[in-house]
Amino acid sequence: MRKHIFAAIWFVIFVSAPSLAAAKPNILLIIADDMGLDATNCYAIGQQQAPMPHLERMCESGIVFENAYAAPTCSPTRATILSGQYGFRTGVGAPVAPDGSDELSVNTPTLFDALNETEYASNVIGKWHVTGRRSGYDAPAQMGVSNYFGLYSGGIRDYFNWPAIENGREVQIEGYSTSVLTDRAIDWIGGQDKPWFLWLAYNSPHAPFHLPPKDLHNFDDLDDSQAAVRRNPLPYYQAMLEALDTEIGRLLSSLDADERDNTIVIFIGDNGSPNQVIGDLYGNHKAKGTIYDSGTRVPLVVTGPGIYPARSDAFVNTTDLNATIAKLAGTSTNAADSIDFSPVLHGGTGDRNYVYVEHFTNRQTRGRGVYGWSIREGNYRLIKPKDQPAELYDLDKDPLEQTDLLASGGSAQARAISEALIAQRATLLATEN
């Protein structure tokens, strides 16, 4: 009963105000770091979901995308959103090195460049990790972000004491990072007097796993010691997710009624869950860092004015957030690989026919993850691990990708499907220049 009451409340909050049709919506993009489908009750995968009531209410009141795909790791996912281009065009195929040798070029046209041509205020708060030392701490400003604050690289060693970039300079921050980033978001939003877009990139629940402040979660029986975390990181990961959800709720509650009624909220994970917390759910494929579904199919939920509760099978690549956010703000980016999926938000159909994922680097891989590429069309997904034979899966019958249809040569039908998907990728790569 309580669940249905909350759904009704959120439905009224987001879709009932008749005066919103002509108003330009605010847009809030929330990115969770290392959160796969298995981490949330919005998707029925595994038995290890964290309690995230605010996200679950968003899932009940908005659109839940069943087939949203990211890169297997953080930097390439963020680069695809920022640029609207696949990694083979930008050169970002894995976490950006600290020296920035494989970073996203600051000359890349970005979503923020497009938004800066509109009346929208825009900003990034939180994890950046698309450039390194080569471009320096003013890289966000060079790419159209006027007031960046957050952690510049891939992660932090201590959630309670960590380095951040503010006004182009490194500063040391004391305070729980999930709460500090929420505070900054609340302050920035409160200072706007025109429509706004905020890219809020939390570093939670990325390692190091830990016990968050006790007022943010209900895992009161956990031992707050590193030895306990190492023995069983899953409940600490879940506590981090509940703390993240609590702070998302605080952020949304900070908006006054009119602003909240006119805000589109997009929630997405940047790649699969950490391998330390998934157990044997995906067999040998693991999750984060792999090109399998377990590492690349991510939660994507959108709520807001005019968006009705639904679950959508539409294909979405993270590149598509670029064109979609631009369209919601009344502009366009013309990014090469970005397809606007905003019609899906209002009951229409999507225009993407396939999803493409890649994971590559010129640096030594140290044996981490599964590199290569993958392409999906319909129910069939072709996986091509680097230096290994291709694999084909029917996700309708085998959603966890445990039965390779090309094993031992495969059937004539499987080989034909594989060849067609390989040709589809070749056509895509032919557009590189």
Decide: residue 370, CB within 10 A, 0-12 exposed, 13-18 middle, 19+ buried.
buried
C-alpha 95/C-alpha 131 separation (Å) is 10
Sheet of 391-394: strand order equals 354-359, 372-377, 380-385, 391-394
Model confidence pLDDT, tens digit, residues 176-218: 999 999 999 999 999 999 999 999 999 999 999 999 999 999 9
One digit per residue, the tens of pLDDT, for the chain of length 433 reads: 434 434 443 444 444 433 334 589 999 999 999 999 999 999 999 989 999 999 999 999 999 999 999 999 999 999 999 999 999 999 999 999 999 999 999 999 999 999 999 999 999 999 999 999 999 999 999 999 989 999 999 999 999 999 999 999 999 999 999 999 999 999 999 999 999 999 999 999 999 999 999 999 999 999 989 999 999 999 999 999 999 999 999 999 999 999 999 999 999 999 999 999 999 999 999 999 999 999 999 999 999 999 999 999 999 999 999 999 999 999 999 999 999 999 999 999 999 999 999 999 988 765 568 999 999 999 999 999 999 999 999 999 999 999 999 999 999 999 999 999 999 999 999 998 7
Model confidence pLDDT, tens digit, residues 320-331: 999 999 999 999
CA distance readout (Å), 90 to 62, 265, 385: 32, 27, 21
User: Which pLDDT score, from 0 to 100, does residue 429 have?
Assistant: 97
- For residue 399, cis peptide bond before it (omega within 30 degrees of 0): no
Nearest to 153 by CA among 96, 198, 90: 96
Structure-token pair, residue 293: 């579904």
Tokens 């040998």 appear where?
Answer: 284
User: Which pLDDT score, from 0 to 100, does residue 362 have?
Assistant: 86
C-alpha 357/C-alpha 87 separation (Å) is 9
**What's the one-letter identity of residue 285?**
H
CATH class given for the domain over 2-17+24-353: alpha beta
Domain boundaries, the chain: 2-17+24-353, 371-433
C-alpha 128/C-alpha 92 separation (Å) is 14
Longest dimension (CA), the chain: 63
Residue 54 neighbours by CB under 8 Å, 6+ apart: 245, 246, 248, 249, 252
Decide: residue 236, CB within 10 A, 0-12 exposed, 13-18 middle, 19+ buried.
buried
pTM: 0.94
Fold classification of 371-433 (topology level) = Arylsulfatase, C-terminal domain (3.30.1120)
User: Which pLDDT score, from 0 to 100, does residue 2 have?
Assistant: 39
